[in-house]
Amino acid sequence: EKRYDYLIVGAGLFGSVFAHEMTNRGKKCLVIDKRDHLGGNVYCEEKEGINVHKYGAHIFHTNDKKIWDYVNQFATFNNYINSPLSLSKGKLYNLPFNMNTFYQLWGTKTPQEAKKIIDEQIAQYGVKSPQNLEEQALSLVGKDIYETFIKAYTEKQWGKKATELPAFIIKRLPVRYTYNNNYFNDIYQGIPIGGYNVIINGLLDGVDTKTGVDFFEDRIELESLADKIVYTGKIDEFFGYKHGYLEYRSLRFEHELHDIENYQGNAVVNYNDASYAFTRIIEHKHFEFGKQDKTIITKEYPENWDRSKEAYYPINNSRNQEIFKKYKKESQQLEGVIFGGRLAEYRYYDMHQIIASSLVKVEEISKIKPQ
């Protein structure tokens, strides 16, 4: 008789939602994480009374009422609306691309004036079948928007020239002909009051957890504790990298404490030109309308990834997709192990999507009646 029904490897949102739901269904769960805290990438570290988003800025947004109600069981959300600014060539602009941006860029005041410029630039610089990211962007929004906001920023993000990046990275570049700086189009948006840890603690209330435990350092012992495993770590690592490494893009975060109340007046300022190596500065207190005397900012530097670094963004190219397919096939043949979450599925997911996918997984399993 095993002590647990489920050993859940990874205390991120996928694992925490899974543990919560299964505990509610009378199953016994043990959640382990190799990091020294719960929450995975949504974890916030409290400093000077400010919730610092340790693994990058996280803004919750969704169109799905069910997911919104789900997270609201655990935390109250504030009315933060993401309205990033962009600094490029010494000037500040509003994002996402909207009538404010066009006014700041060209002085245009009406949608007709702005649309005329964009259409003319698309006609002048665009091509019929774009072969790389640069051609794709020029075909979607024209030269000025591309050169002011997209070129250097994307090159910093991916560490490659825009002419060497595939066109499919940018599928659409929405432009808005209204004066609306709300970055997301979703109906529901906000930051949990008290930070994301409030949600994680709510999800894991009454669940056994252990931090600082790496599954691979004690695999046999850990596997012996439970009937089934839910694995949310890297899928290639699970199979001992036998089909090769899956590649990622990484990030380096430089946190700074400043002895002033307000550093940049906004939570997110993007640095879109090439004169800065970082892509954005986050000022965490503005996510929660903080009034502290001090402030904490984070500079976000894109980096090449190696196994000593955190894996942030999967690199979606044919090499990695081929390798991933092999691991996926093996994972489907394996009994007793459920693979889920961004690292096991080698996929970028937003928070609302990862919660939805964990809930779907729980439903699928709960439908299968025991023999």
Catalytically active residues are 172, 176, 249, 280, 300, 348, 350
For residues 265-304, which are near ligand FAD according to CB under 6 A?
A: none
Residues of this chain, 235-254, that bind ligand FAD according to CB under 6 A: 251
CA-nearest of 285, 281, 312, 276 to 298 is: 281
Q: Does 77 bind ligand FAD (CB under 6 A)?
A: no
Stretch in the footprint of ligand FAD (CB under 6 A) among 58-66, 202-210, 321-329, 331-339:
58-66
Question: In this structure, what are the phi and psi dihedrals at residue 62, rounded to the nearest 5 degrees?
Answer: -160, 155
Question: Does residue 214 belong to the site contacting ligand FAD (CB under 6 A)?
Answer: yes
Q: For residue 215, which of 241, 234, 242 has the smallest C-alpha distance?
A: 234
Q: Does 339 bind ligand FAD (CB under 6 A)?
A: no
- Closer by beta carbon to ligand FAD, 40 or else 290: 40
Please report how many Cα atoms fall inside a 13 Å half-sphere around the Cα of residue 81, on the Cβ side.
11
Long-range Cβ pairs for the range 113-118 (8 Å, 24+): 114/177, 115/177, 117/142, 117/144, 118/142, 118/145, 118/175
20 binds ligand FAD (CB under 6 A): no
Q: Is 168 in the site for ligand FAD (CB under 6 A)?
A: no
Dihedral of the CA atoms 216, 220, 225, 231 (nearest 10)?
40
The stretch among 131-139, 157-165, 210-218, 323-331 that binds ligand FAD (CB under 6 A) is 210-218
User: Residue 342 interacts with ligand FAD (CB under 6 A)?
Assistant: yes
Closest contact distance (angstroms) between CB of 363 and ligand FAD is 18
Distance, in Å, from the CA atom of 266 to the CA atom of 261, rounded to the nearest integer, reads 12
The span from the CA of 233 to the CA of 35, in Å, is 12
Please, what is the minimum distance in Å from the beta carbon of residue 310 to ligand FAD? 8
Residue 195 touches ligand FAD, criterion: CB under 6 A: no
The backbone region for 208, taken as left when phi is positive above 0, alpha when psi lies in -120 to 50, beta otherwise, is beta
Binding site residues, ligand FAD, CB under 6 A:
9-15, 32-35, 40-42, 56-60, 214-216, 232-233, 251, 312, 341-343, 349-352, 354
